[in-house]
A and B are shown apart, each in its own frame.
Chain A
Amino acid sequence: MRRLAATSLLAVAGCNAHQSALAPFGEEADDTLTLTIVLAIGALILASGVAVLAWRAARSPKGAISHEGGMKLVLWLGAVGPAVILTVLLLFALPAMRPMSAAPGDLRIRVEGEQFWWRVRYDPAGEAPLTAANEIRVPVGRTVVFDLTATDVIHSFWIPGLAGKMDMIPGRTNRLVVRARKAGIYRGVCTEFCGLSHALMAFDVIAMEPAAFDAWLADARRASDGNEADAGGAAAFAAHGCGACHAIRGTAHDARIGPDLSRFGERRTLGAGILQPTIENTAAFIRDPHRFKPGARMPAYKSMAPADAEAIARYLKGLP
């Protein structure tokens, strides 16, 4: 029955299992979906019951319902019944609102919302942190603590399939504890209007098996992530001053203003979840980011030779 209900809800969601609270892959989102199904079925039963009663009352002959009987109906169905139903619902929903607990050794991921991208830092217990951007990987079955904040305006962090949303407020760190249940590729979004490109501020979420995640983290932390094979692209990157804002691990570029571009080649999207990361799109984005992202802080490089933009794009795409 539950599976049937979940499947039909999935159909309603337009089969978007990528970014939907109706297609959960985390514990909290699972609980929320269960609550939604219970509420929907309960509301349907109640509404049908009231409709049947109203139909019967309208059809019964005058005088068939006594004043006393009517008052009793009002008392039980109008006051006592709703109070009992609401109490049961409250007792059912309150434990689900209880934040998940986290242990000191759990993986922490710090995410900062910025106009209009996500600064990500993995902080595994006892190991050096790892910086990334616009893509978040989580290990399935392990508790993950998100430390959420913002640097400019209020943003909100929401991975619908994983958990509820949480505001990112400048000067304050909010904690969101999650646990993924199913490996897969999902999507998160900003859910607090934060400026012109608010609707273009998304990110990919990759839930990985724990062993694969550990391997990825170890691999990503290697010192030399630079794409040394592409000397021309690297030179163009340096010559146009990209390194004044962006960092690439294993190179001399370590600025923290814009998104970290290390391992750009493995990202699933470009521009915080909005474009396919092809060489053409990347080159076009470098020359005119505002065409894709109005209000973005990155300056346009319209005077850059298209060949240079393409060389940089190819270089970035080649970052392991």
Chain B
Amino acid sequence: MTNRRPRLYERLRVTLWTLIVPPTLWAGHFLFSYLWAAISCAKAGEFATFPWLFVAGTVIALLLIALAGWVAWHQARIPGDAPPHQDSTGVDRLRFIAKSTLLLAGLSFVAVLYTALPVVFLGDCR
């Protein structure tokens, strides 16, 4: 055993709250998309040729979801009891929540991409 400093994903506490981070980011991005589209249509009547604000918001949402997924992936791999990880031990709880967070991060990542795609194809406000 070495006395190395624990890594970031080991230092972070895992609670039920971390589970809702990816879906919340998706919901925030969804709201942001609607507001951005409504304001663009009201002020300019169309989407910009390169909608930098929208791209920036989407990239930030994707990066944060990827980060949450990365943390969850590492935490899900912390060794502990044998499968199926359903005992009421600390490590099982950790791995269960981490795995759930990882799956939600995947879903949220895809959902943010789907929300953003129409802007690539649709340019006007009709």
**Complex Cα–Cα for A83 and B108 (A):** 11
Confirm or deny: B79 has a beta carbon within 8 angstroms of a beta carbon on chain A: no
Bound Cα distance A210, B70 (Å): 61
A166 CB, min distance to chain B CBs, angstroms: 9
Instruction: List B contacts of A98 (CB < 8 A).
Output: 121-123
The answer to whether B110 has its CB under 8 Å from any CB of chain A is yes
Whether, in the assembled complex, A97 has its beta carbon less than 8 Å from a beta carbon of chain B, the answer is yes
Chain B residue at smallest Cβ distance from A101: B124
Chain B positions 70-126 with a Cβ under 8 Å from a chain A Cβ: 103, 106, 110, 113-114, 117-118, 120-124, 126
0/1 string, A94-114, CB within 8 A of B gives 1: 110111000000000000000
- In the assembled complex, the Cα of A175 lies from the Cα of B110 at a distance in Å of 33
Which chain A residues (78-99) contact chain B, with CB distance < 8 Å?
A: 79, 83, 86-87, 90-91, 94-95, 97-99
Residue pair A79, B114 in contact (C-beta under 8 Å) = no
Minimum distance in angstroms from B23 CB to a CB of chain A: 16
Cα–Cα, bound, A221→B89 (Å): 86
Residues in B neighbouring A174, C-beta threshold 8 A: 126
Residues of A within 8 A of B106 (CB): 79
Q: In the assembly, what is the distance between CA of A175 and CA of B106, in Å?
A: 39
The majority secondary structure among interface residues of chain A is helix
Number of residues from B at the complex interface, CB < 8 A? 13
CB proximity to B under 8 Å, residues A114-159: none
B117 touches A94 (CB 8 A): yes
> CA separation between A91 and B117, bound complex, in Å?
8
> CA separation between A192 and B8, bound complex, in Å?
57
Complex CA distance for A87 and B126, rounded to whole angstroms: 24
Q: How far is the CA of A254 from the CA of B122 in the complex (A)?
A: 43
On chain A, the residues within 8 Å of B113 by CB distance are: 87
Where chain B touches its partner, the secondary structure class is helix
A99 to B124, CA, bound (A): 8
Give Cα distance in the complex from A134 to B114, angstroms: 41
Q: How many A-B residue pairs have CB under 8 A?
A: 27
B121: nearest residue on chain A (CB-CB)? Answer: A94
Q: In the complex, what distance in Å separates the CA atom of A94 from the CA atom of B120? A: 9
- Which of B114, B118, B122 is the one whose CB lies under 8 Å from A86? B114
CA distance A311 to B122 in the complex (A): 55
Q: Output the nearest chain A residue to B123 by Cβ-Cβ distance.
A: A98
Chain A count of residues within 8 A CB distance of the other chain: 13
10 further interface pairs, Cβ-Cβ under 8 Å (given A94-B117, A94-B121):
A79-B103, A79-B106, A87-B110, A87-B114, A90-B117, A95-B121, A97-B121, A97-B122, A98-B121, A174-B126
Q: List, in ascending order, chain B residues with CB within 8 A of A87's CB.
A: 110, 113-114
27 example contacts (A-B, Cβ-Cβ < 8 A) are as follows A79-B103, A79-B106, A83-B110, A86-B114, A87-B110, A87-B113, A87-B114, A90-B114, A90-B117, A91-B117, A94-B117, A94-B118, A94-B120, A94-B121, A94-B122, A95-B121, A97-B118, A97-B121, A97-B122, A98-B121, A98-B122, A98-B123, A99-B122, A99-B124, A99-B126, A174-B126, A175-B126
Give the distance in Å from the alpha carbon of A79 to the alpha carbon of B108 in the complex: 12
Chain A residues with Cβ below 8 Å from B126 are 99, 174-175
Which residues of chain B are within 8 angstroms of A95 by Cβ–Cβ distance? 121
Closest approach, in angstroms, between the C-beta of A293 and any C-beta of chain B?
32
A300 to chain B, nearest CB (A): 41
In Å, the complex CA distance between A90 and B122 comes to 13
Instruction: Using CB atoms, name the residue of chain B closest to A175.
Output: B126
**Residues on B with beta carbons closer than 8 Å to the beta carbon of A90:** 114, 117
Roughly how many angstroms separate A97 CA and B122 CA in the complex, as a whole number?
8
Nearest-CB distance from A101 to chain B (Å)?
Answer: 9
| Identity of the chain B residue whose Cβ is nearest the Cβ of A79 in the assembled complex | B106
Q: Which of B103, B110, B118 has the most CB of A within 10 A?
A: B110
Question: Please, which residues of chain B bring their CB within 8 A of the CB of A175?
Answer: 126
Measured CA separation A55–B10 after assembly (Å): 45
Alpha-carbon gap, A242 to B45, bound state (A): 43
CB distance from B103 to the nearest CB of A (A): 8
- Report Cα–Cα, A98/B122, bound state, in Å: 6
